[in-house]
């Protein structure tokens, strides 16, 4: 993979030393985040919605109801801004001013297109399904022709992007060193809870469920 060129649109201006432009670092954040936020500008004004994405190389797939304003805008070639954020820890300083968060965030820009051919539509839904729960596509029933017709799928070709990462310890003022309060980093992770079977299910949960975790993937 290569890096996205720095432009006025994707350049990180505030604390630029935290910026990342390499595709592998940006896509790792996007792939680990379960939900992304998709922003567009309509005639009525800005609109941002949370969505479940699925990435295949430089293409991001999204799906939803055919009547969706957001998907209609994207399918007509509209400009799109997509964000993904991972919170890795709370940085608890001795002063409120120096409290912070350890995070990894990505901002991506691109233009949309409709996904209409059945083979690409199925592939897109597979990519989204595998993003949400790897291995589930091969376990559950595939979409029927009727379900495919009732589902809109769009593709966003990622043209530009950047990431910003904060990691490390507290950055306290020396004058606060004696302040009588605990300071440090509280790590945060996303963990799956105990599986709750649906009514009528007598099978044990498969490894795709019992071993579920969010993490980086290659590609």
Average pLDDT over residues 73-101: 97
Average pLDDT over residues 2-10: 96
7-37 confidence digits (pLDDT tens): 999 999 999 999 999 999 999 999 999 999 9
CATH class of the domain at 16-165: mainly beta
pLDDT averaged over the chain? 95
- Give the Cβ contact number of residue 131 at 10 Å: 22
Domain residues of the chain, as ranges?
16-165
pTM strictly above 0.75: yes
Where residue 214 falls among pLDDT bands split at 50, 70, 90?
A: confident
Residues with Cβ within 8 Å of residue 14, at least 6 apart in sequence? none
Where residue 217 falls among pLDDT bands split at 50, 70, 90?
A: very low
Average pLDDT over residues 148-161: 97
**CA-based max dimension of the chain:** 67
């Amino acid at each position: 993979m290569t890096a996205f060129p720095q432009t006025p649109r994707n350049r990180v201006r505030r604390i630029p030393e935290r910026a990342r432009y390499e595709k592998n670092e940006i896509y790792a954040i996007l792939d680990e985040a379960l939900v992304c936020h998709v922003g567009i500008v309509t005639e009525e004004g800005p609109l941002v919605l949370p969505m479940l994405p699925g990435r295949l190389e430089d293409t991001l797939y999204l799906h939803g109801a055919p009547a969706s304003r957001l998907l209609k805008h994207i399918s007509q070639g509209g400009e799109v801004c997509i964000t993904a954020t991972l919170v890795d820890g709370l940085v608890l300083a001795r002063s409120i001013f120096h409290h912070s968060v350890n995070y990894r965030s990505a901002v991506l820009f691109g233009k949309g297109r409709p996904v209409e051919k059945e083979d690409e539509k199925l592939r897109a839904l597979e990519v989204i399904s595998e993003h949400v729960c790897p291995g589930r596509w091969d376990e559950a029933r595939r979409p029927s022709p009727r379900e495919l017709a009732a589902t809109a799928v769009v593709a966003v070709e990622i043209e530009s992007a950047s990431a910003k990462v904060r990691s490390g310890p507290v950055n306290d003022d020396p004058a606060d060193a004696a302040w009588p309060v605990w300071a440090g980093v509280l790590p945060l992770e996303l963990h799956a809870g105990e599986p709750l079977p649906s009514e009528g299910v007598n099978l044990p949960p498969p490894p795709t469920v019992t071993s579920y975790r969010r993490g980086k993937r290659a590609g």
